[in-house]
Structure 1
Amino acid sequence: MREINEQFGIIVSKHTCYRARSAARKKLQGSLIDHYHLLPSYIAELKKVYSGSTFDLVLERETPDSLVRFKRLFICFDSLARGFLEGCRGVIGLDGCVLKTEMRGQLLCAVGKDGNNQMYPIAWAVRIVKKRELISDITDQLCPRIRELLEGNKLKSRTCTLRHAGEYQFEVTDLGNRFVVDLRTRSCSCRYWNIRGIPCSHAITCIHWMKQDPVSFFTDWLKKDVYKLAYRNGIRPLNGRNLWTEVEGNYVFPPLVKKQPGRPKQKRRIDSSEKELNGQRLSKKGVQMRCSLCHQVGHNRKTCMALIGRHALS
């Protein structure tokens, strides 16, 4: 607003700037309704280019005479699905966010973890070529982030002492705590090695005592060769909408938005274990209440029986 005032000599409000930006965006990119109209043609183009992939557009109509409206859309590229099966650990997580458009809604994404301990989107891939070039220049058997975790566990292993229990079993003491390590089953009672596939500090102590390389005790999906398998299947380019095949049928309209009562909230709901958004206040969960009058726990000054008794006597 200050720049507009200095350059053109006019005073505009913040809401005027918002409306001008929305009008410019609508003129350049089209309206949101126009984009919904193109969904059937977009899905048809995807199915033509990416055979074997899964694209599911679900529409709904409240009454036979009402408009056809968007309900949900599912996209899964075959190349990314095969990359996940060949080069990632068999664990799928669900990530999501709220869409801040006029239609609201949620965007959900099924993700995995690749060999570099990074998120692997199964439905869509970002910067695949750049990741390939980065990892291909590395001569290490492990990916960079996994190597950092290994070096950190090596430093932590300096506080560990072990007792050999025969064959591949050990009892490791770490700062007064005891853990059982079995190199044959690649497990430790701290559960770090079992869950992440990376030898913990207790296991590294035993591996060094056996004079072996900790890298040989990693799971294969954390190594560079398996990491490359996840990104070897690229996604083919897609034509612009001027070359899409027009799909006959009813136009698709955005879903109906029901305005909730009351003033809309600007901040998300904070869990009791989290800090406040400004970072100043901490949660009082688990803190015992102590009375400032009788110094007993379990109540405060307002509900203190000693104070209530005094008022009753007076």
Structure 2
Amino acid sequence: MVRGSNVDVCVNLLRKECTCLEWQMTGIPCPHACAAIKLLHGNIYTYVEECYLKSSQEKIYASSMIPIETHDMPDVNNLTLTDWENNIFLIPPTTTRPPGRPCKKRRESQFQDVHVYKCSRCDQSGHNRSKCRNPNPEKI
């Protein structure tokens, strides 16, 4: 019996079952089962379904995946501090943001109507009253 958040859950480690049903559905021990396994000082990986183990994955993908040769790659575990200092590693590019507020990049819709200006003095389109060049328009 494992006490969770406001809920008591029964865990059966021999049958790999928990009353929350998460362990049965996923094949991976739920937090309740992990707590019970930890209480008994057991190894959690022995209670994981076999299909999730690395050995099973290697068997499944052995024919479709070809390993890459790594004969010229340095072994990360055997590198010393001087080796790390002498190697050139990729660093991210330096980017600078321009000062001020970013510009709005508004894209007008192709279906949006274009506003046509019409002068209130001469009733011609293309300009407004302040830009009107007709000296004395005759408005009918």
TM-score category of the 2 structures, normalised to the smaller one: 0.3 to 0.5
Larger of the two Rg values belongs to structure: 2
Q: In proportion to residue count, which structure has more strand? A: 1
TM-score, normalising length: structure 2: 0.44
TM-score, normalising length: structure 1: 0.20
Higher relative contact order (CA 8 A, sep 6+): 1
